[in-house]
Structure 1
Amino acid sequence: MALRTLSAKSAAALDQELMSTGAFSIDQLMELAGLSVSQAVFKLQPLNRGKRILVACGPGNNGGDGLVAARHLFHYGYQPTVYYPKQSKNELYQRLTKQLKDLKVPFTDDFPSAVQQTDHIVDAIFGFSFSGEVREPFPKVIEALRNTQLPVLAVDAPSSWNIESGPPDSGPGKDFMPEALISLTAPKPLVKWFKGRHFLGGRFLSPEMAEKYGLDLPEYEGLDQVVEVPVEGGKL
């Protein structure tokens, strides 16, 4: 089933509505997002293909999704390592970080070395709200993601991509094409440039909210929080 996409402006409006009239807290939405990411990893990288998962987290909500995913992956039996160089002082992110440290999940500051010691990478650096210049220390990290032969799952957007116009013409993200992408809540316009496997995590939207924003609700199987989907169509 081809799914319609949601522009950055509409995605931000939908998030705000979910947290107001939808009565979701940001903690709930981040937990649902991170759970979806962890299930996509499970489908892409079964435990028998390698348990080591490197989760690269940015300073915002996308990074928070990565922290939640790392916790779930630990409980599935994986061995996550977290790269989180710009740790937020926000209480929510500090709690997510403490939950991982209580599980003895290692944090690393050495991304190049961590890449050499993992089986799969989660790119949770920049999400749909990213714009402007990639700032340190992330240019070299995104270059490493572009150059690695390891499978990479990007969360909501391959980091450095523009949500509306896709991959950059220059800079560290030029030619960055991860193996897989998980769109959260709804696909964004950048998916028209994406060539890998595409998953959707959004099994919490009400039919009324989906109708208001012109979104398609795909069929999820069993207990799955993610579904693999093709994408075609224009943005709202």
Structure 2
Amino acid sequence: MKKFQAWSAKWWDEEGVYSALHAMNDIRVPFVRDILMSKSDHHDVGCPLSGVKILDVGCGGGLLSEPLGRLGAAVTGIDPLEDNIRTAILHKSEDPVLDKLIQYKPCTLEEIVEQNIESFDAIVASEVVEHVNDLESFIQSSFQVLKPGGSLFITTINKTKISYILGIVLAEKIMSIVPEGTHDWDKFIPPEELERLLESNGFVVDTLRGMLYNPLMGSWSWFDDTSVNYAVHASKTVRQEQTSDIDFEKEQDSPKAAEAST
């Protein structure tokens, strides 16, 4: 948090420390949009995500919240740094439409769970989980605030030798694409480990795609290899034990219903 505090006023500088995140919108926004649209048969051409409630976790200055809002989604952006939230609020206030569709709160995901059980259609956590101390707790909280069948979108960095070379040595120390100290390689997570955590906490992983950043072009593209960056879409399911409890209650009620009928 101390590292990101120093960069809180630089979110909307497209050539600055967050330039790679600005560029990532070219692929991550359509990724979220297309999957959410596939879950509904009715779309407003101008606002394809109208009526969809999205929670943007670790929203920073609102780089992802705003384009999702422009697609018609009602977005709640949360971030533990108040300076980030102030930057996000100031920027969205320049657009009256976005000002109504997006709200920002300075807090963590865990802090809003109790008041938001099964409140959101989707969660986006883009370039966030590699900064989280307790990833399983984060996933459990995501499960709680999502509606049944809701979507969890994650983009993050794999834990490989090449991700260390490209993500830290090259990006931070040599090319200064992001400030030095942005990432901690020990917190990078392999996709198979993330998938295991998701599926053991009530999610089904539907999509896993590799991502590639070209620092010379300043652009992102989808890639067959997940050894560096990757994106995941997972859907919330009803926990098996909950289903079993419901079936058991039905079995218990059946003799009583039969007896009453007789």
TM-score, normalised by the number of residues in structure 2: 0.46
SS of equivalent to 2:91:
helix
Match of 2:19 in 1: 28
Match of 2:87 in 1: 95
Match of 2:64 in 1: 69
Match of 1:79 in 2: 74
* Separation in structure 1 between the aligned mates of residue 139 and residue 83 of structure 2, nearest angstrom: 24
Letter of the 2:31 counterpart: A
Match of 1:37 in 2: 28
Offset of residue 165 of structure 1:
4.8
For the aligned residues, what is the CA RMSD? 4.4
SS of equivalent to 1:81:
strand
The 3 A distance-change label for structure 1 pair 95 and 234 is closer
Higher strand share: 2
* Separation in structure 2 between the aligned mates of residue 32 and residue 74 of structure 1, nearest angstrom: 18
Considering Cα pairs closer than 8 Å and 6+ residues apart, tell me whether 1 or 2 has the greater RCO: 1
- What whole-Å deviation, never above 9, does each CA across 1:117-168 have from its counterpart, x for those lacking one? 322211247244x37x33xxx875531224554111012269xx94255638
The 3 A distance-change label for structure 1 pair 177 and 33 is farther
Match of 2:103 in 1: 106
Structure 1 residue runs without a partner (length 5+) = 1-22, 180-194, 210-216, 218-224
Offset of residue 68 of structure 1:
1.0
* Separation in structure 1 between the aligned mates of residue 221 and residue 53 of structure 2, nearest angstrom: 19
The 3 A distance-change label for structure 1 pair 32 and 125 is closer
Higher helix share: 2
Match of 1:198 in 2: 208
Contact 2:88 2:104 in 1 (8 A): no
- Identity between Structure 1 and Structure 2 (%): 7
- What whole-Å deviation, never above 9, does each CA across 1:19-49 have from its counterpart, x for those lacking one? xxxx952242222234432221112112872
* Separation in structure 2 between the aligned mates of residue 98 and residue 75 of structure 1, nearest angstrom: 17
- What whole-Å deviation, never above 9, does each CA across 1:41-70 have from its counterpart, x for those lacking one? 112112872642423423xxxx438x2111
* Separation in structure 2 between the aligned mates of residue 82 and residue 232 of structure 1, nearest angstrom: 27
* Separation in structure 2 between the aligned mates of residue 56 and residue 125 of structure 1, nearest angstrom: 11
Match of 1:188 in 2: none
Letter of the 1:107 counterpart: Y
* Separation in structure 2 between the aligned mates of residue 29 and residue 123 of structure 1, nearest angstrom: 16
Letter of the 2:68 counterpart: L
Match of 2:5 in 1: none
The 3 A distance-change label for structure 1 pair 113 and 234 is closer
Letter of the 1:145 counterpart: S
Offset of residue 73 of structure 1:
0.8
Tell whether 2:188 aligns with 1:163: yes
* Separation in structure 2 between the aligned mates of residue 162 and residue 196 of structure 1, nearest angstrom: 23
Contact 1:31 1:68 in 2 (8 A): yes
How many residues are aligned here? 165
Offset of residue 173 of structure 1:
7.1
Contact 1:35 1:72 in 2 (8 A): no
Contact 2:157 2:188 in 1 (8 A): yes
* Separation in structure 2 between the aligned mates of residue 56 and residue 175 of structure 1, nearest angstrom: 23
Letter of the 1:71 counterpart: E
Contact 2:56 2:75 in 1 (8 A): no
